[in-house]
Structure 1
Amino acid sequence: MSICYIALGSNLEDPFAQANRAIIALQQSPQSKVIDVSPFYRSKPLGPQDQNDYLNAVIKIYTDLSPIALLDELQTIEKSQGRIRKENRWGARTLDLDILLFDNLIINSERLTIPHYHMKHREFVLYPLFDIEPQLILPDNEKLLDLVSKCAKNGLTKWHE
């Protein structure tokens, strides 16, 4: 089985419920096993500021799926929870599930980039990932601890439901 870390984000239609439904969907996957889920965080939107704050978390799974098959599964979960892909990359969304890391693979294809692009600069990814895997070393041998120590929180706080 492969170890995979998935970023979870939501800022529409009850983000807390959206996140929990996504975690349950992953738990029900016959080819994957949820190992850990970070605390939920609240972050400011990256794009247009006229949208709700985001709920963010990171999920650690073991999976028998290939990276592309896992991507397909994540996109199916997103769609089942009302995700509509739009031109606006940083717009509001019911659910966003992104593969951050997949074993120690480095993938740069048309559909998938692993490690996830910009993850090293996003507090809403680094801090939840650090919560569940503080000793993590990325495929380029960079320590997660070093990335977190250089990353401002930018208003990131724990989500209180």
Structure 2
Amino acid sequence: MGNIIPMKDKSLKLDLYLGIGSNLENPTKQIELSIQYLSDLDELEFIKVAPMYESKPMGPPDQPNYINTVSFFKANIEPAVLLSEIKKIEEMMGRVSISTKWSERIIDIDIVLFGDIELETDLLKIPHPLAFEREFVIKPLLDLDSNIYIPGQGFAKDLIKNCKYKVFNRIIS
């Protein structure tokens, strides 16, 4: 597996890419608000956000389309602590746990890439195991870094042609 952050070295900051999506209550605003909350975390330094993309839902078809993007941060935080903070933000924003997979949601924040960390626990997998199948993740990643590499998968520019889940609209914001 890849490197784990040596938390004693507070000067070390790894590249962190978070996939963010919403399909409820003005999704663009929800995404912007989530980025603000994430930026408020002391361990995260916001760098930039990719353009947003619209895509059909992966789950039940009777829900609104999703708006998705990827945000780029520099971070010095343990992955499990980061996941806990993300869950707190999602809950604070009104995300409700529903048993239906890929159901509509006010906000969804996923850890896509975190430096060269490769991690697999019961609660967390880094890189995100489905990122390479999702054009709504790969396209914004490429907007942020056209040469980005997904550990264990390859270069995003090579993976995009095989994405199962496509986008159909880039949101101009």
TM-score by length of 2: 0.88
Give the aligned partner of residue 139 of structure 1: 151
Question: 1:41 touches 1:57 (CA, 8 Å); kept in 2?
Answer: yes
Question: 2:54 touches 2:168 (CA, 8 Å); kept in 1?
Answer: yes
Give the aligned partner of residue 91 of structure 1: 103
Give the aligned partner of residue 14 of structure 2: 2
Question: 1:124 touches 1:156 (CA, 8 Å); kept in 2?
Answer: no
5 Å-filtered alignment, 1:37-116, equals 37-116=49-128
Matching residue's letter, 1:136: I
Matching residue's letter, 1:120: F
- The answer to whether the aligner puts 1:15 opposite 2:16 as a matched pair is no
- Separation (CA, whole Å) in 2 of partners of 1:155 and 1:8: 14
- The answer to whether the aligner puts 1:119 opposite 2:119 as a matched pair is no
Deviations 1:42-61 (CA, angstroms, capped at 9, x unpaired): 11000111000001000111
Question: 1:130 touches 1:148 (CA, 8 Å); kept in 2?
Answer: no
Give the aligned partner of residue 5 of structure 2: none
Gaps of 5+ in 1: none
- Separation (CA, whole Å) in 1 of partners of 2:124 and 2:68: 20
Runs of 4+ displaced beyond 4 Å: none
Aligned residues: 161
- Taking a change above 3 Å as real, the CA distance of residues 155 and 142 of structure 1, as seen in their structure-2 partners, is closer
Percent of aligned pairs with the same residue?
A: 34
TM-score by length of 1: 0.94
Question: 1:33 touches 1:61 (CA, 8 Å); kept in 2?
Answer: yes
CA RMSD of aligned residues (A): 1.5
Question: 1:123 touches 1:156 (CA, 8 Å); kept in 2?
Answer: no
Matching residue's letter, 1:119: A
- Separation (CA, whole Å) in 2 of partners of 1:74 and 1:108: 17
Deviations 1:125-150 (CA, angstroms, capped at 9, x unpaired): 11111110111112126111101233
Deviations 1:56-107 (CA, angstroms, capped at 9, x unpaired): 0001111111111111111111111100111112100000000011111111
